[in-house]
């Protein structure tokens, strides 16, 4: 049996098995499949990025809030408000002293007051702490809230990120009872004495006083404060007969007794 000879044109080669390329139709199918996959995966990817930015904003909002008023764990740290006596007018005040007085303990009972920031880590860039996870400025410092416009970038819409949800109280009240022993008898709030309460006002020491009972003080900034009893009648008018410190927590009344 004879084998037929197949002649090739000069310069041509016989295709080897398995080396044929993609046809145009096959390329179109592959591109179509990739497009479908991209259309399915892209929204999920964008959603993941958006959720990560929301979570980063929520975490940073809590940090900024605690920088303003201290941690909500019952500790005796009260952040910017405890040192200055008010909320920051802008978030920049948490890291920039500006015209605020420097921190000092040259005060009644050596209770520190004045600016001792920065109260928050500024991050890798000087303005990091000012912007949310979407790169937009936070607002709300003067109300004690940290507000972000959220994913849509429009304020006062459903996706806003706000911490805390309602403006916090930053002041409380103090009720002082003065007691003294006269022989075997306890005298409550005797006449002839004045009660003075010292606290920070814009970073500087100020005081309020009451000349007679009841010795109640309201709208006192949260924080550690000094209180004392001063004799107002002769002899020894102006002498301090009792003193102590009191912790004022927001929205509550701190009761303290001073004996002499």
Please write the tens of the pLDDT for every residue from 154-164: 999 999 999 99
CA distance 246 to 172: 11
Q: For the ranges 6-15, 44-53, 232-241, which has the lowest average pLDDT? A: 6-15
**CATH 2.60.40.1120 intervals, the chain:** 171-259
pLDDT tier at 51, thresholds 50, 70, 90: confident
Predicted local distance difference test score (pLDDT) of residue 176: 98
Q: Give the total residue count for the chain.
A: 260
Mean pLDDT, rounded, of the chain: 87
- What's the whole-number mean pLDDT along residues 93-101? 96
| 3-class DSSP assignment, residue 34 | helix
Predicted local distance difference test score (pLDDT) of residue 73: 75
Sign, CA torsion 199/201/203/205: negative
**Distant-in-sequence, close-in-space partners of 206: CB < 8 Å, separation ≥ 6:** 198, 199, 200
For 171-259, which CATH superfamily applies?
Carboxypeptidase-like, regulatory domain (2.60.40.1120)
Full 3-state SS string of 73-133: CCCCCCHHHHHHCCCCCCHHHHCCCCCCCECECCCHHHCCECECCCCCCCCCCCCHHHECC
Question: Residue 156 has which token pair?
Answer: 């006062």
Residue 123 reports pLDDT greater than 90: no
Whether 77 contacts 180, CB under 8 Å: no
Predicted local distance difference test score (pLDDT) of residue 52: 86
Predicted local distance difference test score (pLDDT) of residue 21: 65
Residue 259 reports pLDDT greater than 90: yes
Predicted local distance difference test score (pLDDT) of residue 3: 47
Residue 23 reports pLDDT greater than 70: yes
- More confident: 71 or 107: 107
Residue 6 reports pLDDT greater than 50: no
CA distance 60 to 151: 15
Residue 29 reports pLDDT greater than 80: no
Please write the tens of the pLDDT for every residue from 171-202: 999 999 999 998 899 999 999 999 999 999 99
């Amino acid at each position: 049996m004879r084998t037929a000879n197949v002649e090739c044109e000069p310069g041509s080669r016989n295709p080897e098995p398995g080396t044929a390329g993609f046809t145009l139709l096959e390329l179109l199918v592959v591109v179509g499949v990739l497009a479908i996959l991209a259309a399915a995966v892209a929204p999920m990817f964008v959603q993941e990025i958006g959720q990560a930015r929301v979570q980063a904003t929520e975490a940073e909002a809590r940090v900024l809030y605690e920088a303003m008023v201290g941690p909500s764990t019952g500790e005796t740290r009260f952040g910017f408000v405890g040192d200055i006596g008010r909320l920051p007018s802008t978030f920049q005040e948490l890291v920039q002293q500006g015209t605020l007085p420097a921190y000092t303990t040259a005060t009644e009972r050596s209770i520190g007051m004045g600016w001792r920031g920065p109260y928050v880590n500024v991050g890798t860039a000087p303005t990091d702490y000012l912007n949310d996870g979407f790169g937009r400025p936070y607002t709300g410092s003067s109300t004690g809230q940290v507000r972000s416009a959220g994913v849509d970038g429009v304020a006062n819409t459903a996706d806003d990120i706000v911490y805390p949800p309602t403006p916090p109280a930053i002041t409380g009240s103090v009720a002082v009872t003065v007691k003294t022993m006269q022989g075997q008898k306890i005298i409550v709030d005797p006449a002839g004495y004045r009660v003075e309460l010292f606290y920070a006002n814009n970073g500087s020491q100020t005081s309020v006083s009451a000349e007679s009972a009841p010795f109640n003080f309201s709208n006192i900034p949260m924080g550690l404060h000094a209180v004392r009893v001063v004799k107002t009648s002769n002899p020894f008018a102006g002498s301090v007969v009792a003193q102590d410190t009191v912790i004022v927590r927001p929205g509550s009344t701190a009761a303290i007794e001073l004996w002499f």
